[in-house]
Chains A and B, each alone.
Chain A
């Protein structure tokens, strides 16, 4: 039998995760270049959107020390990664598709500025609805939580999405859908993540 090493054990990111991953949020400047929450650059193709929300704990209290990372495809539905070999979809040199955001220490609100992704092929030829992937770490979270945000203005694509359809409880699928709001400055998708309790967000093991 092939010998497999065991994955290194996860540990919580702790309350001071910002020092390592977003030092300006911790209150100091150290790196020439920080990784931040703005994914769209002036040359990026696609519809400019923002995604914002809060992470709520099991008591409904906003988690004010959370850090999220977002990973998404470009406007054509292609990831900037060599494993994505979908035919007929171009890379966008002005879009990496990745960013990280911290919740505000007072309000708990986090926000990404990005573009709406295109649909990415799913397994075996069933297209996935447009979505962004989110990874959530904080004090009290022992292993990073993976989830997805879909878009509420894509009802037909969402209804056919092979991942959403794997969630046996239809009522829980709605926890993965961001709500589009028109605001000055452009559309914003509002997406609250509930770690526990009523309306608990679906988290994935992939």
Chain B
């Protein structure tokens, strides 16, 4: 078909169109707060520009030595209470390629289901030795790992007896603004997952299963911690061969 070789692919530019069926809709009335916070108009779809394919780049020296250790990063002369766990996995794109240098930010409740936040009024006790946040940069292979305490479930104001399953919040910053993602990780075997109105905003059961971390015996730390594996997929980058140049040049 080609008389000469095609121009080189530019795999670092554009992202695949977002598959909206992979995500919850904005309006999901079972999660009551979404009712007034969801746009009613359709999103305006635009071709990606430099504004969407670029994003901040984070350096290891911006993070502190204990940022990935939630057991020790707020310890005040003692250890936090609760089950010690390691959470780890790979951040990849939709083509299965590792996303190195991605910023992974995590936050969670303590073992009692209480958040260290001035707006959290839950009866569960604060833990003087637990802050509940951490951050990690993925390695060259897209791997991340952090150590923490397994968070507890807690009741929340939706219906009168709704409980959140144990979960850890994840914010991901990859190589492009279009990849920015926030999600939540759940724990294998938790009976609250099936009934949680926030989990159930996701219409696709397979996508829900993707948020459930599996216990990972191979990475237990003997006499210390269990481990959970949670892999994350960000939007994939595609090659652009024949389209208008993102840098504003016509070809």
Listed A/B pairs (29) with beta-carbon separation below 8 Å: A4-B236, A7-B181, A8-B233, A9-B202, A11-B24, A11-B202, A12-B34, A12-B184, A15-B117, A15-B119, A16-B117, A18-B117, A19-B107, A21-B107, A69-B180, A80-B54, A96-B56, A120-B51, A121-B50, A121-B248, A123-B49, A125-B245, A128-B51, A133-B52, A141-B26, A141-B37, A167-B44, A202-B44, A206-B48
Q: A13-B182, A26-B118, A85-B247 are in contact. Are A163 and B24 (CB under 8 A)?
A: no
* Closest residue of A by beta carbon distance from B131: A30
Whether the pair B177, A8 counts as a contact (CB closer than 8 A) is no
| 10 A-B pairs with the lowest CB-CB distances in the bound complex, closest first | A121-B248, A20-B107, A124-B244, A140-B33, A81-B54, A140-B37, A98-B56, A27-B118, A205-B43, A79-B54
Contact with A along B14-38 (1 / 0, CB 8 A): 0010111011111010010111111
Interface pair B117/A12, CB less than 8 Å apart: no
B-contact 0/1 string along A193-206, CB 8 Å cutoff: 00111001111111
Q: Could you tell me the distance in whole angstroms from the C-beta of A15 to the nearest C-beta in chain B?
A: 6
- For B37, give its contact among A11, A81, A195, A201 (CB under 8 Å): A195
Choose among A16, A17, A61, A82 the residue with the greatest number of B CB atoms under 10 Å from its CB.
A16
Binding site for A on B (CB under 8 A): 12-13, 16, 18-20, 22-26, 28, 31, 33-41, 43-57, 62-64, 67, 73-74, 92-96, 105-107, 115-120, 131-133, 135, 169, 171, 175-178, 180-184, 198-199, 201-202, 204, 206-208, 210-211, 232-236, 243-250
Q: What's the nearest-Cβ distance from chain B to residue A11, in Å?
A: 4
Cα of A166 to Cα of B46 in the assembled complex, Å: 7
What band does the interface of chain A fall in when counting residues whose beta carbon is under 8 Å from B? 35 or more
Q: Closest CB of chain B to A33's CB: distance in Å?
A: 6
Name the prevailing secondary structure of the B interface residues.
Answer: loop
B248 touches A127 (CB 8 A): yes
Assess whether B133 is in contact with A124, with CB atoms less than 8 Å apart: no
Q: Given A11-B198, A33-B62, is A135 in contact with B177 using a C-beta cutoff of 8 Å?
A: yes
Known contacts A59-B36, A203-B44; A11/B182 CB under 8 A: yes
If A6-B94, A13-B171, A84-B50 touch, does A133 touch B211 (CB 8 Å cutoff)?
no
Q: Judging by beta carbons under 8 Å apart, are B235 and A7 in contact?
A: yes
- Min CB distance B108 to A, Å, is 8
Q: Which residues from A are CB-within-8-Å of B93?
A: 5
Check: A10 CB closer than 8 A to any chain B CB.
Answer: yes
Q: Roughly how many angstroms separate A20 CA and B185 CA in the complex, as a whole number?
A: 14
Give which listed residue, B117, B183, B208, contacts A10 with CB less than 8 A: B183
B180's partner among A125, A127, A144, A196 (CB-CB below 8 A) is: A144
Q: Is A14 an interface residue (CB 8 A)?
A: yes
Given contacts A14-B184, A81-B56, A142-B25, 11 further A-B contacts (CB under 8 A): A8-B181, A11-B183, A23-B131, A27-B116, A73-B51, A80-B54, A83-B13, A121-B247, A133-B177, A142-B28, A148-B51
Which A residues are CB-close (under 8 A) to B133?
Answer: 19-20, 23, 30-31
| CB-nearest residue of chain A to B167 | A11
Q: Please indicate the chain B residues that have their CB under 8 angstroms from the CB of A163 in the complex.
A: 46, 49
B211 contact set on A, CB distance < 8 A: 8-9, 11
